[in-house]
Structure 1
Amino acid sequence: MIFRHRVKEYRLTKGWSQQELGRRLDVSRQTIISIESYRYNPSLELGMRLSLLLEVPMEILFYFDFPWENPSP
């Protein structure tokens, strides 16, 4: 099971830089970089704030990938 997200994808659809998203969330640009590069899993509170700000339901923004359920052809 692998934790995945679509933070960068939805940030870019808003036309926001990492700096802008961090400013809107009151976190550093480094925090956004770490989230987008999977070096940091956001807390539930930050995940909810991301979901609200990006206007994407949490279950769409964050999900688990089960690679053994979708074997490569």
Structure 2
Amino acid sequence: MRYERHVIDVQTGEVGVGTGNTALVSSAIGSCIVIGLYDPVACAGGLAHAMLPGSAPIHGTDNVLKIHFERGSPTGAAAS
């Protein structure tokens, strides 16, 4: 008998729900909050990955560099 697990990746701003052999996972939490609920009677759970107000998602090095360039970085070099 083979044990199979279904994995649901809950991204920023998403909600995931699963039952039985389902694993709910969330990564890149940073300044976000993740809320998890589980009902042992129904064997069902949920996971919400919420972004706090005022924060913007940054994915990948290119976006980080772009945002620092556009906004200016307080730790960056002074203009010459």
TM-score, scaled relative to structure 1: 0.24
TM value normalised by structure 2 = 0.23
Structure number with the higher helix fraction is 1
* Relative contact order, higher structure (CA 8 A, sep 6+): 1
Q: Which has the larger radius of gyration?
A: 2
